A and B are shown apart, each in its own frame.
Chain A
Amino acid sequence: MSEATSTGYPEENYLTQGSTLKSWLLTTDHKRIGVLYLLTISVFFLLGGLFAAGIRLELATPQGDLVQPETYNRMFTMHGILMIFFFLIPSIPATLGNFLIPLQIGAKDVAFPRLNLASWYIFVIGGCFTLWALVSGGVDTGWTFYTPFSTLFSNSHVLPAALGVFITGFSSILTGLNFIVTIHRMRAPGLTWFKLPLFIWSHYATSLIQVLGTPVVAITIVLVAFERVFHLGIFDPSVGGDPVLFQHLFWFYSHPAVYIMILPGMGVISEVVATFSRKRIFGYKFMAFAVLAIAVLGFFVWGHHMFVSTQSVYAGTVFSVLTMLVAIPSAVKVFNWTATMYNGAVSWDTPMLYAIGFIGLFTIGGLTGVMLGTMGIDIHVHDTYFVVAHFHYVMVGGAIMAFLAGIHYWWPKIAGKTYPVFWSKLAALIVFIGFNLTFFPQFLLGYMGMPRRYHAYPEEFQVLNVLSSAGATVLGVGYLLPVIYLTYSFFFGARCAQNPWGAVGLEWETTSPPPTLNFDEIPTVTGEVYDYSPKKEAQVV
């Protein structure tokens, strides 16, 4: 390492290499592309959140008196599409992954920098199609696009929305492809597989799903679009098409997709828990194999979304037992994080608070997922608010918590600035409280029998719905805070030290923010991964 960099904020870094709009829009620097993604997905998140606010506002009263049912259906559909395809799937991989993978493996960039930029543009184009669907009146099929409603009956703007999802799919595929090649081919000398941070492992596993799963949903969505436009008869029951086949093809991707959303989060949590416990992750190899196991097993369980769809009972049984298997590696991860904290030196910095929140909420979400995978329970709670609660626990309580943990952890690396400690801890607390208030009542609602995608509901469900709506307001405030103080910090925050957390890992060996080519000199790795010990300060020469 050159001496000059360890003193702090470098005058020459990737942010200062040109400040024109063009220098951003034509950049091939993975760090800048990560920042571009961060901006775009934030917009989509706020938009999706706005629709969530609409949903909760409507559901505060049972009569369905705020908006027309058509409008409500468009709200939850746009909410689901925006949140899943345009926020959560790209959230961690495309922002933090893009920014950190080359840094953590000691590379100058990803393997295909121009493809990386192209992926962002594809993402934006896909987003434009979705916005087109939105401004022209929205879609009302639910994010799942079930046929034959989506093909023959909906009179909303399915076509642009379907194309939007199709196009974004390729952004996701190409990002995954880029990461796999990067991780295989661009590692610094000495950096063998079992010296890789778990963040890298989980992105590797995620990328596999992106490359092998996404194309299937892409072609399926295209078929839906063609069936609408050219009257091809592929899922249309009147020519013998089977709507359940659509569901198979859809969930073949969309179940693994939930692991696209959570695995990178698990990677972040592993980094954060290790750093803030100042300890090597307990059971490192088990953790590495667990993400691979989740990614692979995740492809065998999609039928658990279809237990009551008239799928064969035998198929359902097989999917159910495989669902149980995929829970095991997740259990291994949860227990290992907990064990890492044992005997650690645990600090209560903001990222760690989010990480602790993640562990608890993901566990609840995951265990209720196991309940859903149990056929005897799913028959009652399928398509009720129990499912809604489950997936918000894993996606909002899990994945978004992890995303926020990651943003707070690597913010000094990305921006080179500090953020206000008090506000950031307060936000973590508000998010945690608001989240539980919003979504815990939904478990109860679900078992009572309140179906999802209901614009109006019988009166006996109102009390719990009001609680949920109240919680959503708190949660909204909790999310707004980081948006505000991080923006403030980016422009006006105090410059921070190169390695404010005392973390190990190649990304902390370079300046914060890093120079355009990441390292003045490509490091050679000799030490172990997560080597936290007082004696050896630097294991990277």
Chain B
Amino acid sequence: MSVHVSPTSTYVKVFLTLILLTATTVWVAFYDFGILNNVIALGIAFAKATVVVLFFMHVKWSSPLIKLIAGAGVVWLVILILFTLGDYLTRTIHYTAPPI
């Protein structure tokens, strides 16, 4: 039976990292970085999610198949978002509510 058991200290470290990242994201939200605002907020969220997936959810030690499935979920969501966004970003007739 090959189950990887992480030491408690790993989990605590992960926990502290997550709290730290949360504090950071709240803190930077009050500053204006222009178009980078969204990038920073989502970047930190992705970092947090990755940490949870790798350590709390043990993907770091899981089989390639599990990694693939976890990745597929994310990739498919990206397909959905990107292609839908592609429509909105390239529309030539603009979204206007005409007075009726």
Residues of A within 8 A of B (CB): 184, 208, 212, 216, 237, 240, 242, 244-245, 248-249, 252, 299-300, 302-303, 310-315, 318-319
Contact across chains for A299 and B91 when beta carbons are under 8 A apart: no
A315-B85 Cα distance, complex, nearest whole Å: 9
Contact across chains for B90 and A303 when beta carbons are under 8 A apart: no
Contact across chains for B84 and A245 when beta carbons are under 8 A apart: yes
Contact across chains for B79 and A237 when beta carbons are under 8 A apart: no
Chain B, Cβ-Cβ closest to A180: B69
User: Which of B10-18, B24-32, B45-53, B92-100 faces chain A?
Assistant: B92-100
Contact across chains for B95 and A300 when beta carbons are under 8 A apart: no
Contact across chains for A300 and B87 when beta carbons are under 8 A apart: no
Contact across chains for A315 and B87 when beta carbons are under 8 A apart: yes
Known contacts A184-B65, A212-B73; A315/B83 CB under 8 A: yes
A237-B90 Cα distance, complex, nearest whole Å: 20
A324-B96 Cα distance, complex, nearest whole Å: 33
What residues of chain A lie closer than 8 Å to B95, measured between beta carbons?
Answer: 242
Chain B: interface residue total (CB-CB under 8 A)? 18
Chain B, Cβ-Cβ closest to A301: B83
Residues of B within 8 A of A (CB): 65, 72-73, 76, 79-80, 83-84, 86-93, 95, 97
**Chain B proximity of A532: nearest CB distance (Å):** 32
A249-B65 Cα distance, complex, nearest whole Å: 28
Q: What are 9 residue pairs bridging A and B, where the CB atoms are less than 8 Å apart in the complex?
A: A212-B73, A252-B84, A300-B79, A303-B83, A311-B91, A312-B88, A312-B89, A312-B92, A318-B83
Chain B, Cβ-Cβ closest to A306: B87
What residues of chain A lie closer than 8 Å to B86, measured between beta carbons?
Answer: 312, 314-315, 318
What residues of chain B lie closer than 8 Å to A312, measured between beta carbons?
Answer: 86-92
What residues of chain B lie closer than 8 Å to A212, measured between beta carbons?
Answer: 72-73, 76
Closest 3 CB pairs of A and B: A315-B87, A314-B90, A312-B90
Which residue of B83, B89, B93 has the most chain A CB atoms within 10 A of its CB atom? B83
**Chain A proximity of B62: nearest CB distance (Å):** 14
Contact across chains for B87 and A299 when beta carbons are under 8 A apart: no
**Chain A proximity of B23: nearest CB distance (Å):** 32
**Chain B proximity of A220: nearest CB distance (Å):** 11
What residues of chain A lie closer than 8 Å to B84, measured between beta carbons?
Answer: 245, 248-249, 252
A184-B89 Cα distance, complex, nearest whole Å: 40
* Choice from A184, A240, A248 contacting B87 with Cβ under 8 Å: A248
Chain B, Cβ-Cβ closest to A242: B95
**Chain B proximity of A204: nearest CB distance (Å):** 13
- Given known contacts A245-B84, A300-B79, what 14 new A-B pairs fall within 8 Å (CB)? A240-B97, A242-B95, A248-B87, A252-B80, A300-B83, A303-B83, A310-B91, A312-B88, A312-B92, A313-B90, A315-B86, A315-B87, A315-B90, A319-B83
Contact across chains for A311 and B76 when beta carbons are under 8 A apart: no
What residues of chain A lie closer than 8 Å to B97, measured between beta carbons?
Answer: 237, 240
A208-B76 Cα distance, complex, nearest whole Å: 11
What residues of chain A lie closer than 8 Å to B88, measured between beta carbons?
Answer: 312
A296-B24 Cα distance, complex, nearest whole Å: 38
Chain A, Cβ-Cβ closest to B79: A299
What residues of chain B lie closer than 8 Å to A249, measured between beta carbons?
Answer: 84
**Chain A proximity of B40: nearest CB distance (Å):** 26
A37-B91 Cα distance, complex, nearest whole Å: 45
**Chain B proximity of A308: nearest CB distance (Å):** 13
What residues of chain A lie closer than 8 Å to B73, measured between beta carbons?
Answer: 212
**Chain A proximity of B72: nearest CB distance (Å):** 7
A184-B90 Cα distance, complex, nearest whole Å: 41
Chain A, Cβ-Cβ closest to B93: A310
A319-B91 Cα distance, complex, nearest whole Å: 14
**Chain B proximity of A176: nearest CB distance (Å):** 12
**Chain B proximity of A205: nearest CB distance (Å):** 13
Chain A, Cβ-Cβ closest to B86: A315
Chain A, Cβ-Cβ closest to B89: A312
What residues of chain A lie closer than 8 Å to B92, measured between beta carbons?
Answer: 312-313
Which residue of B80, B92, B95 has the most chain A CB atoms within 10 A of its CB atom? B80
Contact across chains for A311 and B87 when beta carbons are under 8 A apart: yes
A184-B63 Cα distance, complex, nearest whole Å: 13
Contact across chains for A216 and B90 when beta carbons are under 8 A apart: no
Chain B, Cβ-Cβ closest to A319: B83
Chain A, Cβ-Cβ closest to B87: A315
**Chain B proximity of A296: nearest CB distance (Å):** 10
A244-B84 Cα distance, complex, nearest whole Å: 10
What residues of chain B lie closer than 8 Å to A313, measured between beta carbons?
Answer: 90, 92
A237-B98 Cα distance, complex, nearest whole Å: 11
Contact across chains for A303 and B87 when beta carbons are under 8 A apart: yes
Chain B, Cβ-Cβ closest to A302: B83
What residues of chain A lie closer than 8 Å to B83, measured between beta carbons?
Answer: 248, 300, 302-303, 315, 318-319
A175-B90 Cα distance, complex, nearest whole Å: 38
A507-B65 Cα distance, complex, nearest whole Å: 27
**Chain A proximity of B70: nearest CB distance (Å):** 12
